[in-house]
């Protein structure tokens, strides 16, 4: 689940079946980009692409009418700690 929500997270590295933040790099440019997207209400910046969440995109393509609600789950800041 962490991989799905890490796509745009500054400094994230996916390698050897691991996910981690490379804090040896200068993350300031990426953090600034993230912050500007947040301030500008740029939802497209954090779009979860099909390569990261194939099941979500498959669900979105289904013809399920207009359900009153859909439950999902995301990671939170404590999970990233």
- At 13-72, the pLDDT tens digits run 989 888 889 999 999 999 999 999 999 999 899 888 898 888 888 988 998 888 888 887
8 falls in which pLDDT band (50, 70, 90)?
A: confident
Comparison of pLDDT for 21 and 81, the residue scoring more: 21
Comparison of pLDDT for 7 and 37, the residue scoring more: 37
Task: Quote the CA–CA distance of 20 and 2 in Å, as a whole number.
Answer: 10
- At 17-26, the pLDDT tens digits run 888 899 999 9
Measured from the Cβ of residue 17, the count of other Cβ atoms closer than 10 Å reads 5
Q: Which two tokens stand for residue 46?
A: 């954090």
């Amino acid at each position: 689940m962490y991989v799905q929500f890490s796509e745009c997270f500054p400094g994230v590295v996916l390698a050897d079946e691991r996910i981690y933040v490379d804090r040896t790099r200068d993350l300031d440019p990426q953090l600034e980009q993230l912050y500007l997207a947040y301030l500008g209400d740029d939802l497209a910046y954090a779009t979860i692409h099909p390569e990261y969440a194939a099941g979500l995109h498959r669900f979105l393509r289904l013809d399920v009418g207009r359900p009153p609600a859909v439950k999902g789950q995301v990671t939170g800041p404590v999970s990233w700690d």
